[in-house]
């Protein structure tokens, strides 16, 4: 994981681009529609990283961690009673999340689709954002596709 100072040294044109895209969406769409678009993007990314249908729950959780890392995050898995937590050491979408916290819905849906279980994000958006996803071991209900 890079320090805040080191992270700022790397060019990130995509940060400005994503922030501007979300700002335009906010000007054109209602909040529920924006959430729907973000969740659809999360589902699309998860579909690209499709895991075997017979993969174990633990294997699917590890696949979700790998996908988060592939988009620029760093994460680890923790067990808390009957819940599994994916805790990020930073956020791959930090620049956007800082301005548009609803972007966390994208990552929440991404993780849920991969692990095939209900996921609730409890991301820390103070200072440098850090992802945190609580996963229930129950199978996620099938969401209607649009």
pLDDT digits (tens, 9 = 90+) for 78-135: 998 888 999 998 888 888 898 999 999 999 999 999 999 999 999 998 888 899 999 9
Determine what percent of the chain is predicted with pLDDT higher than 70.
Answer: 84
How many structural domains are present in the chain?
Answer: 1
Q: Domain for residue 55, yes or no? A: yes
pLDDT digits (tens, 9 = 90+) for 38-48: 999 999 999 98
Q: Domain for residue 3, yes or no? A: no
Q: Domain for residue 146, yes or no? A: no
pLDDT at position 35 over 50: yes
| Domain extent for 73 | 10-136
- pLDDT at residue number 6: 45
Q: Domain for residue 70, yes or no? A: yes
pLDDT at position 8 over 60: no
Instruction: Tell me the C-alpha distance between 61 and 135, whole Å.
Output: 9
Low-confidence winner among 23-27, 50-54, 76-80, 136-140 (lowest mean pLDDT): 136-140
Q: Domain for residue 14, yes or no? A: yes
Buried b (16+ CB within 10 A) or exposed e, 25-49: eeeeeeeeebeebbbebbbebbeee
First to last CA, the chain: 37
What value does the mean pLDDT of the chain take?
A: 85
Confidence label for 4 from pLDDT (cuts 50, 70 and 90)? low
Q: Domain for residue 127, yes or no? A: yes
Instruction: Tell me the C-alpha distance between 108 and 91, whole Å.
Output: 12
Q: Domain for residue 143, yes or no? A: no
Q: Domain for residue 23, yes or no? A: yes
- pLDDT at residue number 81: 84
pLDDT at position 141 over 80: no
64: CATH: 3.30.1380.20
């Amino acid at each position: 994981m890079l320090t805040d100072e080191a992270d700022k040294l790397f060019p990130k044109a995509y940060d400005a681009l994503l922030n501007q895209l979300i700002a335009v969406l906010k000007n054109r769409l209602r909040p529920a529609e924006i959430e729907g678009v973000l969740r659809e993007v999360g589902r699309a990314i998860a579909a690209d990283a499709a895991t075997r249908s017979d993969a174990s729950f633990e294997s699917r959780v590890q696949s979700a961690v790998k996908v988060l890392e592939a988009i620029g995050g760093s994460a680890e898995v923790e067990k808390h009673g009957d819940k599994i937590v994916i805790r990020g050491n930073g956020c791959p979408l930090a620049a956007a999340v800082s301005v548009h916290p609803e972007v966390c819905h994208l990552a929440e849906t991404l993780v849920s689709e991969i692990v095939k279980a209900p996921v609730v994000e409890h991301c820390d958006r103070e200072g440098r954002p850090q992802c945190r996803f609580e996963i229930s071991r129950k199978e996620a209900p099938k969401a209607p596709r649009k």
